[in-house]
Structure 1
Amino acid sequence: MRQLLLVLASILTLSSLDIPTIAIAGTMPNLPEMRLVQKLNCNNAQTQAAINECTKLSYQNADKKLNQVYQQLISTLERSRKQKLIAAQLAWIKFRDTNCEFERSEYEGGSIVPTIYFGCLENTTKLRTQQLQEYLKPNP
């Protein structure tokens, strides 16, 4: 057990460095094979797996931005409008998720499915962020 913890601590330390590293393979018989860890370059993704991961990261960034704008907006609203925004946001999330499930269903079973799904989530999220930002603008 101690050896496993040392190996995991070494991997975590190496993975926090900003350089490609190699993990020791085969020292623990019950662990899955470890592979060369490469830094993800989303400006020049070369494989479908890398494109999928980059699309996911891009969506996650868009989602963080949406949540920042949402928190900013909700803090400016009075109670009755807060409740309406919360209800609208919950309905919007259900729409977004269901719509993106539909969009990706055309490619079901293909390696591009994550890219389609996370791309849809990202685009829909960016549009919602723009909508919420409009509510932050002062009325003329």
Structure 2
Amino acid sequence: MYYLFPLLVNLLAFSSSYTPSLTAASTTPDLPKMHLAQKLNCNNPQTQVEINQCSNLSYQNADKKLNAAYQKLVPKLDRTRKQKLIAAQQAWIKFRDASCEFERSEYEGGTIAPSIYLGCLENLTKERTQQLQEYLKSDY
């Protein structure tokens, strides 16, 4: 009986260490935090876990670029257009997340599902960033 107690304590500690993160003012959906034990080589990932981690890093980079373009555009707009952009961006985030959830659903339960989801997020985010950058080129 006493030999089960340390095992139970370790199991509870491990299971409570996984907590999804939520970024308040970002376009990042609720993704689990990933902790790297060693330096990750995204030029040559060796396991599905590494592929998923690299996909997450790649998406996070695309999301930073999107947010930078958005932050540059907002101050250039008058109040009415700013409100319309905010509404459009909120709708786009919902669309992006739902669309990528659908894409991931084909692989539900598989180890590749996270990288499919993150790859979708990255691609749609890059497309939206290009749109915002085109708006920036226009005269406001």
Question: 2:47 corresponds to which residue?
Answer: 47
**For structure 2, which runs of at least 5 residues remain unmatched after alignment?**
1-8, 15-35
Name the larger-Rg structure.
1
Question: Where does 1:11-22 land on structure 2 (aligned, <5 Å)?
Answer: none
Superposed counterparts of 1:86-97, under 5 Å:
86-97=86-97
Q: Aligned runs of 1:102-117 on 2, under 5 Å?
A: 102-117=102-117
What is the CA-CA distance between 1:138 and the residue it aligns to?
Answer: 3.1
Rounded to whole Å, the distance in 2 between the matches of 1:131 and 1:39 is 34
TM-score scaled by length of structure 2: 0.73
1:37 shift after superposition: 2.9
Give CA-to-partner distance per residue, 1:28-87, whole Å, 9 cap, x none: x8465xxx9321111110100000000001000100100000000001111000000000
For residues 69 and 61 of structure 1, the distance between their equivalents in structure 2, rounded to whole angstroms, comes to 13
RMSD: 1.6
- Cα distance between partner residues in 2 of 1:67 and 1:38: 29
Give, in whole Å, the separation in 2 of the partners of 1:98 and 1:138. 30
* Other structure's SS at 1:46 match: coil
Q: How many residues align?
A: 108
SS at match of 1:75: helix
Deviations 1:89-133 (A, max 9, x none): 000000000000000000001000010000000000000000000
Report runs of 4+ in structure 1 exceeding 6 Å deviation: none
Aligned identity (percent) is 73
Corresponding residue for residue 129 of structure 1: 129
TM-score (structure 1 length as normaliser): 0.73
Q: What one-letter code is carried by the residue in structure 2 that aligns with 1:54?
A: C
The whole-number CA distance in structure 1 between the counterparts of 2:120 and 2:46 is 21
Q: Specify every segment of 5 or more residues in structure 1 that has no aligned partner in the other structure, as ranges.
A: 1-28
Whole-angstrom CA distance in 2 between matches of 1:44 and 1:97: 28
Distance, in Å, in 2 between the alignment partners of 1:124 and 1:54 is 17
SS at match of 2:46: coil
Q: State the alpha-carbon separation in 1 of the partners of residues 138 and 95 from structure 2.
A: 28
